[in-house]
């Protein structure tokens, strides 16, 4: 049977389990775009002189936001449109067909509604489908959707092109740190890639909820393809203010994750972001996460003069990931506890008044 939340109710009021606390609710509209995140052309990146210019822009963006957009990136525009088109088709399939790829119960890849994090107290307004594409030897095609018909061929090509682009960008960042070109990819040991296709249905009360709550990505670098609707937001002051990233046809949004942040000893930011929804139209995004192998050691590759390491000691990526997930869940649990306590005290107020 379909999970109850699959029946996205787009007309009536939002169910309680999607309602965020006031401090998390979006205040900046999904379509009020900012141009603060730089758009960088990669045209001529292999040409020495042009490379220096491009590197400078990328480094500045990583130091300020951990986020930028790339155009002229070498990934065929037709492939991007196909990826968008087929992804939309996937989500438009009837529930039963999507649920053929159901990922509940700890399966590695497939289709899921809302948040898959156990213990998550408020649900995200989204569905997604995910598959693990690298290393190739670990691919489990039984967990990859094979519908729509062309999906598998297109997603394979897409994964390969994005792996190439991700590695190219990591070369630039390695050079900027004064290291060998392949330093960051080597630190990943054997780079993993996971693709998550997000679908955010139309929402009756978008001001009360989020498509995807505020987070930083755990991995090295993420490449995001978004449609032209808008909804990706970023903050660099701990969530006090937010901007909405402008969707640009054919562009890919790049953001650094925690692993990239630690390897650079905090010089490059791990982009703090979220997705908001709207009541007019559904939205689609495809996030390609380039992650280190689970056993890769996380520790700064370069500590500049006068700096201290931002990490106490080296840990594996798997341990880093577990720690992050546990602390996110713990934070959500504590927040809920505090909220419940407050609500119970509020309920008690009229009773107290009887005795005064
Ligand atoms: O949909 C978006 O714009 C953001 C997606 C994202 O942050 C994610 O999948 O981790």
Check: CB of residue 267 under 8 Å from CB of residue 304: yes
DSSP per-residue string spanning 94-143: -HHHHGGGB-TTT-SSEEEES---TT-SS--S-EEEEEEEESGGG--GGG
The residue-averaged pLDDT of 64-81 equals 98
Sorting pLDDT into bands at 50, 70 and 90, what band is 159?
Answer: very high
- From ligand 1's centre to the CA of 135, what distance in Å? 22
- From ligand 1's centre to the CA of 217, what distance in Å? 9
- From ligand 1's centre to the CA of 215, what distance in Å? 9
Rounded to an integer, what distance in angstroms lies between the CA atom of residue 27 and that of residue 241?
A: 9
138 burial via Cβ count (<10 Å: 0-12, 13-18, 19+): exposed
Q: Which atom of ligand 1 is nearest to the CA of 217?
A: 10
Q: Which atom of ligand 1 is nearest to the CA of 200?
A: 1
- Beta carbon of 212 within 6 Å of any ligand 1 atom: yes
Q: Which phi and psi angles does 224 have, rounded to 5°? A: -115, 125
- Considering the chain, what is the average pLDDT of its residues? 92
- Beta carbon of 253 within 6 Å of any ligand 1 atom: no
Query: pLDDT of 215-274, one tens digit each?
Result: 999 999 999 999 999 999 999 999 999 999 999 999 999 999 999 999 999 999 999 999
- From ligand 1's centre to the CA of 12, what distance in Å? 26
- Beta carbon of 232 within 6 Å of any ligand 1 atom: yes
- Beta carbon of 220 within 6 Å of any ligand 1 atom: no
Is the pLDDT at 93 greater than 60? The verdict is yes
Q: Which atom of ligand 1 is nearest to the CA of 287?
A: 9
Query: pLDDT of 16-46, one tens digit each?
Result: 989 999 999 999 999 999 999 999 999 999 9
């Amino acid at each position: 049977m379909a999970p109850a939340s699959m029946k996205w109710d787009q007309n009536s009021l939002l169910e309680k389990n999607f309602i965020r606390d006031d401090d998390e609710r979006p205040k900046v509209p999904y379509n009020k775009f900012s141009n603060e995140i730089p758009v960088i052309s990669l045209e001529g990146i292999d040409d020495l002189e042009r490379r220096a210019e491009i590197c400078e822009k990328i480094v500045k963006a990583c130091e300020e936001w951990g986020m930028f957009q790339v155009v002229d990136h070498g990934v065929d525009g037709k492939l991007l449109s196909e990826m968008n088109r087929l992804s939309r088709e996937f989500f438009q399939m009837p529930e039963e067909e999507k649920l053929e790829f159901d990922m509940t119960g700890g399966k590695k890849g497939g289709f899921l509604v809302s948040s898959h994090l156990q213990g998550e107290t408020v649900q995200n307004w989204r569905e997604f489908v995910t598959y693990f594409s690298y290393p190739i030897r670990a691919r489990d095609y039984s967990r990859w959707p094979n519908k729509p018909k062309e999906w598998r061929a297109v997603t394979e090509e897409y994964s390969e092109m994005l792996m190439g682009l991700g590695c190219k960008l990591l070369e630039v960042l390695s050079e900027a740190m004064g290291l060998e070109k392949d330093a960051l990819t080597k630190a990943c040991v054997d780079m993993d890639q996971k693709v998550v296709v997000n679908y955010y249905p139309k929402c009756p009360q978008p001001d009360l909820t989020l498509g995807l709550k505020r987070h930083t990505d755990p991995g090295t670098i993420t490449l995001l393809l978004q449609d032209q609707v808008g909804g990706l937001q970023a903050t660099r002051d701990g969530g006090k203010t937010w901007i909405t990233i402008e969707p640009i046809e054919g562009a890919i949004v790049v953001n650094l994750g925690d692993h990239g942040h630690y390897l650079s000893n905090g010089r490059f930011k791990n982009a703090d972001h979220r997705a908001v929804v709207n009541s007019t139209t559904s939205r689609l995004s495809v996030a390609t996460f380039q992650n280190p192998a689970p056993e890769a050691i996380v520790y700064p590759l370069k500590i500049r003069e006068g700096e201290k390491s931002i990490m106490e000691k080296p840990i594996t990526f798997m341990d880093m990931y577990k720690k992050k997930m546990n602390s996110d869940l713990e934070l959500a649990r504590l927040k809920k506890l505090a909220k419940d306590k407050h609500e119970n005290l509020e309920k008690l107020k009229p009773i107290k008044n009887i005795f005064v």
